[in-house]
Copies of this chain bind each other. A is one copy, B any other.
């Protein structure tokens, strides 16, 4: 079983920053994140995950939305850890593939092969408005761009053969030039000459992670993703999702066992079920209803007035899923949850406040471990994306109480066996896809050397 910790400032619960134990400045405090990373590494977690969006994602009045940028934060965390993998989110919609491929290659070197890239397409309009656009690019075009973006990154990482560096001082040959080749990519979205200016990453390619669950998102994941984060509410639903994704991977000629499905899990742990429920309730009480109502209205694309707190969702007035150009799969999940469990708006808000659509298990360590084992054994999950409601305490409790149970059951490692993130996830190191060294035609064509 693979375990990833989702690192969200003071915790995944939207009101976690209001707890007495939380520091309101934690979102910009490196020491806070370093502490979380060390706790997860001490428990031999596979990786930690940093979400991202290239805009201010919500009203700062209510939550610590002003945060550190994930790539720089992940780098600083790599510097104080030895083994744990680091997965950072980078948008393909508002970046250039040369810059991203390069940064990730550099991070993979810096961290000794511990990096992963969560590929997202940024579903929010305010992000587009930070990059010269007045409209959100369509869902389909965002995923088409993402696919080409990833292809360019692969080519750039493969533009250096693994053995390109020679380092022959006597002969004055630092690298074998026939093994460092332009890529000359010309596509619909990008034209990139290459080669990369960073040697091939230790992992060949940093691990590719994906977290969108719409039709296009699944297709993208089936083609490229090596680990998939997903929000799932039920075991059968999760199993269907996992089977679907692995079938898609197989259809692309990939080994389905090399695609790891990691549903989000918010563990709310008490020594008794009652204690756990009390903890959950105390967090729910800290949620601002009015704010949550506004967020829900925005996700569902209806006016706030259509969401009376003690009534049901206005199912008939909701837009059809296909018309949602933003976070399409989350839209469906929320609607399905409300319909399946017949929830009022207020109840729905309570359910989303902690898990935001992810599975929440409120109970004793045994109950949490049982549920995890059930999902794992049923093929509904290859592991979990642990999303502590409160950080660092929720993670500490999980590591102290649940991880030992998983170990006793032979489900989770006691210590790291490998060094790289790929090794932790049991994934192969990709070979260079485009064989290098085709003679003259592939010689780098360079202008004048930079004379700084």
Contacts and interface: CB of A to CB of B under 8 A. Distances in A.
B56 A180 contact: yes
A185 to B, nearest CB: 10
A286 interface: yes
- The interface residues of chain A, by DSSP majority, are classed as loop
Interface in A15-46: 15, 17-20, 22, 24-25, 28, 30
Interface string A62-81: 11111111011101101110
Interface residues of A, number: 104
B299 A56 contact: no
A399 interface: no
B76 A110 contact: yes
A393 interface: no
A88 to B, nearest CB: 11
B447 A59 contact: no
Given A51-B452, A197-B67, A28 B172 contact: no
Interface stretch (A127-135, A248-256, A363-371, A410-418): A127-135
B60 A326 contact: no
A390 to B, nearest CB: 13
A17 B98 CA distance: 27
Interface string A432-450: 0000000000001111111
Interface stretch (A186-194, A269-277, A307-315): A186-194
Given A106-B72, A175-B61, A98 B56 contact: no
A95 interface: yes
A96 interface: yes
Nearest to A299: B448
A422 interface: no
A205 B164 CA distance: 40
A124 interface: yes
A14 to B, nearest CB: 8
Given A73-B106, A94-B99, A132-B191, 17 more contacts: A28-B109, A53-B197, A54-B98, A54-B197, A57-B450, A62-B173, A69-B103, A72-B106, A75-B76, A79-B79, A95-B96, A96-B131, A126-B193, A129-B193, A131-B192, A298-B448, A299-B449
20 contacts: A24-B165, A54-B98, A55-B197, A58-B446, A60-B175, A61-B176, A62-B173, A65-B197, A66-B160, A66-B196, A68-B110, A68-B198, A69-B102, A69-B103, A76-B76, A79-B79, A129-B191, A129-B192, A130-B193, A172-B286
